[in-house]
Each structure stands twice: as structure tokens, then as C-alpha cells.
Chains A and B, each alone.
Chain A
Amino acid sequence: MNSIQYHEVQPQNQQDSYNQFNTISFEILSDGRKLNPNSIRLDYDLEVFKTGATRAGATDDVFVNKNISGHAFFESFQTTIQSQGLIENLQEYPRWANIHATATHNINDFMTCGFQAEGRQLLNEAAAAQLQRQSCHASDAAAHYINPSFTIKPLIGFNRMMGDGYSFSKNGFIRIDINIARNLTALYGSDYAADGSFALKNVRIRYTTRPDEGSQGKILMNSYVQVKATSTSQNYNVDSRVPSKAVNGVVISFLETSHESSSRDDTYRLEKYPSLDEINYRFNDASNRFVTYSVTDLGDQVKKGIQALSDGGVSMANRLNIAANESFIVGLPFQEYVDLSTQKFSVNLKSSSVNLNTSPRNVYLFFLTLISI
């Protein structure tokens, strides 16, 4: 009764394969045990069709975002615990995973076992190659495809937690509902047709527990609340009301609206906001003082976005990536927890681009929140 135990859970709605728009539900319950913090992993095999029933072959240009790879196939995560109900609803999850990777890692970090298991790679070509593996041992002329397997550590609250382990005896089960991403959102490339698709097989969750000593200490989890808007003008204002009493920063990313769910473009790319001149943030701080924060320098805009997620470490947001329209995030660290549930948070984006009305941009705001149990 003294050791760590490994558990594996099958989906409640067991299917041979899961496709776009499907929901996969897991219920995690280990009576008399405590969930080890940050131990939940999601395993699955992947099957990719470049068009109709035609598999993506070794020479096809079918890509997945190299920074997140295995995370790209899950549109959203909802986590419910029996004692409190829904505790988090992570929308636009792959974009969040990309932002998290961009702000907290350098591409060199991907050359570790943990990230390789998630399929993260240095180059798009490498990320593509792992989707379309073929056996070289066949004696016939037919193509023999191998479904690559991934094991990811989803960035849900239970994997970004600190404090005590989660006591199943005190709090009941954990339910995780996962919505599968759309076909044209998860994958892209010149060989990926409009009817291209993917399927997930053998989906399961693994986690570890330890013995429950009978008490439940405080649990704190990092999470986010996402707000999406579409910018169509040079002087664009986003007003958000965030359902959280503890927000300590905001990270913003952009995507040209026509690139969303396009078979040729990466929907999760963190694109640059065109000719961004100034960002103004307006809200009341913890002392209820009205704060206006204006950031004009490009480097400063990006640096503050990175700081909002991580004050230390290295990032992928260098100028080379920004010019290539990837790894661009902006944002603001609040340096304290602010209650945004009773007030509006405003972001004003000023740009000198004359193309915004014809090429509008999606604006994704991720408010960094704290959940306590």
C-alpha cells in the first residue's frame, strides 16, 4: 500500500476510431488513492488520409504543426470533478499548446524523449514525416502504412497543478471530455485535400496514483479562459468579461481569418498582426485602480507576452520566426491576481495596415487563470 500505481482508462464511449467533431469521455476514479499531480497522459494511434480513403504516403506534403504535433487533434478539453462540477473548459486547445510551447521552449528543447513522444519536431518536414510512416519490410509492391502512436501530456489543470494530490475518496471522480479537432484544422499541406481526414485509434488515458492518507490539502491549478474576436479595422478594440476571479495575465495570438480551417494553411500558426503599431490594455488592477498600459515596441510587445507565461527560460519567438509569420505572441503579465469577473478587460490594437478590412484577423485572447480546489 505504499507505492505508486499505474492506471489505464478506456473511453466511456468506446469506438474503433474517433473522427472530427467526436467527443471522447473518460472517467477517472481510483478509490482509496490520490492522483499524482501532473501525471495524466493521453495515448492514441493516428491514421491520416490525404483525400477520401487514400492514405498519406511518405512523399506527400501533409503537415501538422511542428511545435505541438500530438496535441493538434484535440479541439477542446472539459474537466469536471464530482464534488464541484465543471472546473475548466479549454477551448482552442491546440493554439494554447502552441503558445505554451513557443513561450516556454526553444526548438532545441524538443530533442528530448518527452517531447519526441509527443511528436514535436524542429522542422515541419520532420513533423510531416512521422505522420506518414510506411513499412519497408513488405515483399509485395503495395504500400504498407504504419499508424504512428503518440503519447501526450495534455495541458489541462490536472497536469499544471501544485499542492496536494487529488483525493478520489474526498472529491469523487474526474471526468475529462475531449472534442476532436476538425480535419482541416488539425492538418494541412499541398497534398491534403479538402476531403482529407484523420482518425484516432486505441485512445486511452494513463495516470499514476499514490495511497490516500485520508486528508485533502489545497490544490492549485493553472488554467486559462479563451476569448476570440475578429479584427477588421486599423483601430480595433476587444472588450472581454472573463469568468475568473484570479487572472494574472493575458496572452494574445492572431490568425488571418482565411487561414482558419484551410487545407493549405496551418490553423494553429501564431501569425503576426500586420503592421502592429501599438497595443493598449485597460482594466482595473487588484486595488481597483484603473490601469492603462500602452506598448509600442515590437520586441517589447512580444517579450511581455512571453513574460506573461514564463519570466524565465528561452523561447522560440525570435525575429526570424516572426518574419516567417509564426511564433508571434503578445500579451501582458499583470504581476498580481486580478478579478476580471466583475469588470471589462479592454485591448486596443492599432495598426497601420490598409489590408485589415479585406484580410481580417482572428484575435485569440488567453487569460491565465488559477483554479483552487
Chain B
Amino acid sequence: MDNIIKIQPQQSGFVSRTKKQLADFILPAGVNYDLSRSYISVELEPNAVYTHAPAVAGITPVCNQFFTFEGGGTAGANEGIGNFVKYPSNAVLVKNASAFATKVGKAEDLRNVDKLRTNLGMYSRNQMELENDIVDLSNYDMNSQFHLGAEELVKIGNEPSRVKPHEVRIPLSSIFNHAKTESFNTNKYGELRYHFELNLDLLNVSQYTTNVAAGLLYGVAGANYSKMNDVTLTGNSNKLVTHNEYPDLNQSPWAIGQTVRVSSNKAGAGVVQNPTYFTIINIEKNTTAGGDADDERLVLTLNGNWDSGAAAYTAIAISDLDDTSTNNLSELVKNVELTAVVNNEPASNAPLVYTTYLSQEDSYPASQRIQRNYEIPPNCKNVYVMFNTYTVSRDTLDTYRVTIDNEEITNRAVQINSPLHFDLIQQTFMNAGDQIHAIANKINILNTSSVANDDASKELKIIAFPVPFKPVSQRLNLELEAPAAATLLGQHVIFSEVVRKI
């Protein structure tokens, strides 16, 4: 079994997200660590303040909240991809990171970790792998209509939904390559110190706010989620029977603790919305209540009577609400700590060989075509070029040409998304000992309703190519060209993957 050590950061008070947070962890010497299974955990909990939810004993109000990360830029702003990018790696929460072992010095010093790991992760993890990661930043089913994540929702029964702290894990191996080792012997390397500059200020909480009135089960006309069965009441009622049948409960948008409003047409007098706000306190399969028992409909029980006296009611509809007025973001982050896994096997004395990334940031006037020169450091295996100031690498790039020590790596300009472009990326991943799992080359957007996933402007664009492995510096010449009448965004980061041994 694992022996684990929980390590608190040197800093305290990770309750504010208003500024970048520094976190330093010291892993004591004298232990053989399995860094490949060690991780940083960031504990998050939304603190919604509800405007309309009625107070119901034993019921926690919920409003379909989920965590977001603002690395894509504000929706509608210059980036235009919004805050709903599905990040392939939780390393997006780390801006810069360094590792220092007292006997060997600096093991790694990475800048722009969020950019590097996000863009590489979009090739190394496919959609199913992303969906599967349950201890994730936004751990809900992609492309599903009803987001989950920040709340523990209950869709059947009378057990209340609840809001619990959610642990986001950032494996050390997703940040540092040296942390892919199962045996890091601090008897040999000395005390291990990690320094992280975290992107906690970019964390946020969002809410699924679309009124379900427009939503259709399986897209079938008339199968509105909001639609309830007509009923003739002889007395007051706090129960409603859904019009849709839900043999698969995960298709249902309703949860215990949701705040709703009810509108209905009483005795043909016209549709009127009840001014009272209700909370769903129970959901059960339709057996005896409210009409047709021979179906797979759900009976929703509210905390009060929705009707206005005995009559025949038609056109009954309920809507869920964007109920929160604010979310106390200053208390979003509850805790940050490092969990180190101890390897009980005898430590290896073999030197640790790994790769790390040296980065150079460059900015230039926006133009249709640029040509730049850089130095590739010694012992470099691969070079990656990632664009713009945001996390996701995007640009108006159309073609590029790479020359190393006055020798072109291809005999022609490389067109983005051409076979040659993908072949270079494939060669780079192979050279790094990694595998490509996805070549969709698209940014995974969660709220596909507002940002089309098939929008060509949401294409991920990186340049990656292997370089001849030499113990000396090499000269890199990079020519980038945008389509006619377009201009490049004017900023990129060059990551050189170099081999280290300690």
C-alpha cells in the first residue's frame, strides 16, 4: 500500500483568488519518493448567495454550478473562445514552476507551464480520456446539456443535493518531466523544494443558466424539458408530473434543491406565472401521483402548492432559474497542499535522465509575414512554438518554414493542418517518447451552444519539430506567414526541450 506524506505550503491563506498565489513545498530528505504518483491538490468550493431560493429545512439550494478557468480570455473579447475551454491538463493552474534539490541544484525551471501543458495535452489526450477524468477541474460530461461539477446533485429520491469541497489534482508529472520517475531518492539528491506560481486568480464559478423551456429531450419537437402533464385538481397540489419520460435519469434536468417557478393555464383563463419561487424537495418515478401511472415520467414534489385552487390546469411549465446573485469568489479556494507518495522499494542509484523545457518569449509588430532568428540550446531534442498571450495557442498562421543551422527541415513551406504539418508534430512526440492520441486540432469547448466547436477560428495552432541532437547551440530561423490580407498576432513562445541528467 501507498505511504503518503501530506505537505502544507510554506505560505498560508490560500483563500483569495484576487492575485497570483505563490506556493512553496519542501519534501524532506531521507525519503525515496514516487513522484509519478505525487500531486498538488487544490480544494475548491463555490459559495453561492441565492436571491430567490426559499428556505427549506434540510434542503441545500443548488443551481447547477461548475468551475471554469479564464485562461481563454473573456467571451466576446479579443480571444473570443470564452472561459469554457476543456483543459486537457490540470497543469493549466500553474503559471511558472521550479524544482530545486539541495545536493544537485535546480532540477527544472519552467515558465508558461499552463501554455506548454495545455497545448501539448490537446494532442496527447483524446476526448474520451478527458471525459473520464473524474478528479478534474471541470469534471462533467462534455457536450452534455446539463453541467455538473461543483455540486453533488441528486436526481431521484429525497436525499438533498449538496455542495462539497471539490479536489482538483495536479500531478507533479503533468508539470515536470523529472517527476515522471517512480524513484526520486532524496538521500542522493537532497531535500527537494518546489516553487509554484499558481493561476488561482483565473478560477471562477459559472452556472448553467439557460431556461429549460427551449430545451428538447433528444431534440424531439414538443418534448420540452419544462413541460408538465395537464392535471385536474380537486384540492391543492405540490406535485408535478413531467411530460417527458426519463428511463435514463441522466437525461433529466431536475435535481433536489433546484429553485423553480411554475406557470399554468387555469380553466382556460390564460397562462399565468405563479409569483412564488419553489424548491424541488423530492423526485420519484411516476406510480400513483398525477395521472398516467403507466410510464417512465418523474413526479417532482415542490416545497409548496403551486396551484391556485381546484380546477383543470393546462400548459403547465416550470423553469429553472439563474438564481444566484453573487458567488463569493474570494473564498473559492479552500486549501492547497502537496501529497507525496513514498516508494518503499530500494532506491535506484542510476542517474536520473529527463527532459525539461527552456522558453524564449518573443513579440513583434503585427504583420502578414515575419522572419526571426533564435538560438537552440545544446542537448535539445525538440522545439515547440506556441502563439499569443493566452493559454491556448492560436494565431492566424497559414504557412511556416523552419531552418536549423542554415538547413531547411522541409523542402517547402509547411501549410498548417497539412499532412506535413501533422507529420512534424508526430515526429516530435515520438522523439519525446510520447504518443499522439488526438489530432482533432480543435479546442474543446464545453458550452458548445455559444461557441461552435467546428468553427475554424477555434483551431489549435502550434508548430513542433525535432532538431538534430547536438551538444552545442544551433541557429534557428523561423518564417511565419498569415493568409493574404491577415496579420499574425505578434507574440509567441519558443519551448526548447533539452536533456538533463542528475
Contact = CB atoms under 8 A, between A and B. Distances in A.
Contact of B1 (A190, A319, A335, A353): A335
B166 interface: yes
Nearest to B132: A314
B140 interface: yes
Interface residues of A, number: 46
Nearest to B294: A190
Given A61-B247, A324-B252, A335 B2 contact: yes
Q: Classify the interface of chain B: helix, strand, loop or mixed.
A: loop
Interface string A273-308: 011000000000100000101000111101100100
Interface string B217-253: 0000000000000000000000000000101111010
A106 B132 contact: yes
Interface string B140-178: 110010101100111111111010111100000000000
A355 B248 contact: no
B140 A319 contact: yes
Contact of B148 (A189, A315, A320): A320
Given A123-B248, A335-B2, A300 B167 contact: yes
A123 B218 CA distance: 11
Given A106-B132, A275-B162, A325 B148 contact: no
Given A319-B139, A335-B2, A354 B58 contact: yes
A108 B128 contact: yes
Given A106-B131, A291-B1, A319-B148, A324 B140 contact: no
B362 interface: no
Given A190-B294, A298-B152, A314 B1 contact: no
A324 B293 contact: no
A51 to B, nearest CB: 12
Report which residue of B250, B252, B285 has the largest number of chain A beta carbons within 10 angstroms of its beta carbon.
B250
B295 interface: yes
Nearest to A327: B250
Interface residues of B, number: 45
A297 B167 contact: yes
Q: Classify the interface of chain A: helix, strand, loop or mixed.
A: loop
A86 interface: no
A3 B164 CA distance: 59
B287 to A, nearest CB: 7
B255 A285 contact: no
Given A189-B296, A285-B1, A320 B159 contact: no
Contact of A128 (B128, B247, B255, B286): B247
Given A297-B165, A325-B249, 10 more contacts: A123-B247, A274-B157, A293-B1, A299-B167, A306-B134, A320-B141, A323-B153, A324-B250, A324-B252, A334-B1
User: When A and B form their complex, which 7 residue pairs have the shortest distance between CB atoms, in order from nearest?
Assistant: A324-B250, A324-B249, A299-B135, A124-B247, A319-B148, A314-B132, A323-B153
Interface of A: 61, 63, 106, 108, 123-125, 128, 189-191, 256, 264-265, 272, 274-275, 285, 291, 293, 297-300, 302-303, 306, 313-315, 317-321, 323-326, 334-336, 353-355, 359
26 contacts: A108-B128, A123-B247, A125-B247, A190-B285, A190-B294, A274-B157, A275-B159, A297-B135, A298-B164, A298-B166, A299-B134, A299-B167, A300-B135, A303-B135, A313-B132, A314-B129, A320-B140, A320-B146, A320-B250, A323-B152, A323-B153, A323-B255, A324-B156, A324-B252, A326-B250, A354-B58
